[in-house]
Amino acid sequence: MAFTAQQAAVWCNGRVEGPADRTFDSMEAVEFANPQQLTFIGKAAFARQLSQSRAGGAICTEGLNVQRRDDQTLIWVADADLAVAQVLEHLAPSPPFPELGVDSTAFVESGAVLGADVRIGPQVVIASGARIGDRCVIMAQTFIGAAIIGEDCVLWPQVVVRDGCTLGRRVILQSGCVIGADGFGYRFAQGRHVKIPQIGGVVIEDDCEIGANACVDRGKFSNTIIGQGSKLDNLVQVGHNVQLGKHTILVSHVAIGGSVRAGDYLVMGGASVVADHITIGPGVKVAACAAVNSDVGPGEHVAGIPAKSGKRAILEWKAYCRLPEMAENLKSIEQRIAKLESSAKNHSS
């Protein structure tokens, strides 16, 4: 799709510097862009790269020291990262959704209720008791039990939503994710692990997106809850009875143990974990690969194993990195003390 710098500026509410009629055919990162592509500069660290880039133009955050060549056009915006999202909305191809209606190979039980203008793809199975909201898109080979799906949801291929689960409006479930699998509940008795039935459900509130092959387990008694606007990356595991606040971000490979309570705006880096029954306050940030095994207060930034204050973790890491040097210094000090003791002994004798 060809577009001009002026068109892109309208899409992202930007200000053009240079030829506004400059035409682009796509967007690309600054180091890979060619003269027919628009790039972006969102941070000062990348500002100097534009002069060496072949890009025909760039979306730039106001206030950055970006030098424009004569053959480049700049589009100045308040936030380049957000502006890129706005431009890409216009450039993205239409998703390969099924046609309106129910595919001939889909199986919809008689007790299921489908809303208006739904799109049900090939080999989808929708069980009796399911309620599918208006304008929902259910892609190929997805299974929906006796669950409630709100309006305008998109379920990509091979999603599973089991009985007793509820999705709000505009929820996106990426391929392979499983909502409502049994929580991991067992009791060891008489030499074996006895399975504890999990009779709760899952509630995913409005405007959430769950990544590919992520799993949200049903509760033991009450529901597991994913708060409004939350975004879970691929391969995330949320245990039974967890309650996540609004606008949570969980990056890939995060694992949250059962019965965790977390406030709004939690951010967890990749491969970080939370132990069972932990309480996390609002606005907390957990660094990648951290292990949270005790409660975390509001607004704290934690890192390390076990997780602690980010500043404390950095100090400990710096000290750890100095251990070889410290060992050499200690060895030198021990040798000097030994010489001094030997000299003192000789003088005393």
- Give the phi and the psi of residue 332 in degrees, each rounded to 5: -65, -40
User: 262 to each of 20, 258, 282, how far by Cα in Å?
Assistant: 47, 12, 7
DSSP state of 160: E
Report d(CA 21, CA 23) in Å as an integer. Answer: 6
Select which of 240, 277, 301, 347 is catalytic.
240
Joined tokens for residue 79 = 């936030």
Report d(CA 239, CA 184) in Å as an integer. Answer: 7
Residue located via tokens 């602690």: 308
Residue 45's H or E segment, with its range, is helix 44-47
Q: Confirm whether 301 is a catalytic residue.
A: no
Q: Are 203 and 230 spatial neighbours (Cβ–Cβ below 8 Å)?
A: no
Report d(CA 209, CA 230) in Å as an integer. Answer: 7
Q: Are 185 and 224 spatial neighbours (Cβ–Cβ below 8 Å)?
A: no
Nearest-CA neighbor of 226 among 239, 242, 240?
Answer: 242
Q: How many other C-beta atoms are found inside a 10 Å radius of the C-beta of residue 252?
A: 17
Nearest-CA neighbor of 223 among 177, 166, 175?
Answer: 166
Report d(CA 218, CA 238) in Å as an integer. Answer: 9
Rounded to 10 deg, the angle between the 5-12 and 80-91 helix axes is 110
Q: For residue 83, what are the contacts with CB-CB under 8 A and spacing of at least 6?
A: 12, 13, 14, 40, 59, 75, 77
Nearest-CA neighbor of 136 among 164, 110, 163, 112?
Answer: 112
Report d(CA 39, CA 302) in Å as an integer. Answer: 34
Report d(CA 313, CA 113) in Å as an integer. Answer: 53
Q: Would you name the residues annotated as active-site residues? A: 240
